[in-house]
Amino acid sequence: MKKIVLSAFALLFFAFASGQAKDGQVSKGKWLIEANTGFGANVGSTALYFSSSDGITAFNIGAEGGYFIKDNLALKLGLGYGEIDGAGEPIAYKIGAKYYFKSMIPIELSYNGVGFGDANANPAFVGAQVGYALFLGKNVSIEPGIRYNIATHKQYYDNSLQFNIGFALHF
């Protein structure tokens, strides 16, 4: 049992040590396309999720894209669409910036929301996210992270915490 645990830790250490960007994936002029799974409160979400509970079905589909304006810094836009129990929600959107600290720790600041118009009908949030980018090759990374969303209209909506697993393509 001790050998199995030590082998697992060695494999995990090797994966994290070799998972850094080496081939210029986060260099100026590169593109980023990503999809995230969201666990927790999905607010203004461009994440992919599906849930069904107490006869209520909800789903969301979305993606984000970005362009590296300088090494390790990308400007991002995202769009998503979702439904709750057959009722369509307006388009979700996200605009922000993502910085890869030491080319492996993504830190994101963004403004995200659903729809446009009155605050009581369409929530908006300012969010911050941090994670770890595990590069699986020249063009693919997996980025688990944690995100905190601060509601801009607290009289209608609450702040929320999300756990994400992102899948990114780098071109």
- 125, 108 in Cβ contact below 8 A? no
Check pLDDT > 60 for residue 13. no
Structure tokens at 68: 């590296």
* pLDDT interval class at 81 (50, 70, 90): confident
Checking phi first, is residue 84 left (phi over 0); if not, alpha (psi -120 to 50) or beta?
Answer: beta
- The yes-or-no verdict on residue 137 having pLDDT over 60 is yes
Q: How many residues does the chain have?
A: 171
Task: Report CA 81 to chain centroid distance, whole Å.
Answer: 15
Tell me the Ramachandran region of residue 6: left when phi exceeds 0, alpha when psi lies from -120 to 50, beta otherwise: alpha
pTM of this prediction? 0.80
Distance between CA atoms of residues 111 and 99, nearest Å: 15
For position 38, what pLDDT does the model report? 73
Residue ranges of alpha helices (H) inside the chain are 2-18
Residue type, 149: N
β-pairing, 160-170 with 105-114?
unpaired
Q: Judge whether residue 100 has pLDDT over 90.
A: yes
Task: Decide: helix, strand or coil at residue 65.
Answer: strand
Query: Could you tell me the pLDDT band of residue 138, with boundaries at 50, 70 and 90?
Result: confident
Q: Which one is predicted more confidently, 12 or 146?
A: 146
What residues have CB less than 8 Å from 117, skipping those under 6 apart?
Answer: none
Q: pLDDT tens across 109-131, in order?
A: 999 888 766 666 677 889 999 99
167 near 133, Cβ under 8 Å? no
User: What is the C-alpha to C-alpha distance for residues 127 and 147, in angstroms, rounded to an integer?
Assistant: 7
Q: What is the pLDDT of residue 47?
A: 79
Q: Which domains does the chain have, with CATH numbers?
A: 21-170 (2.40.160.20)
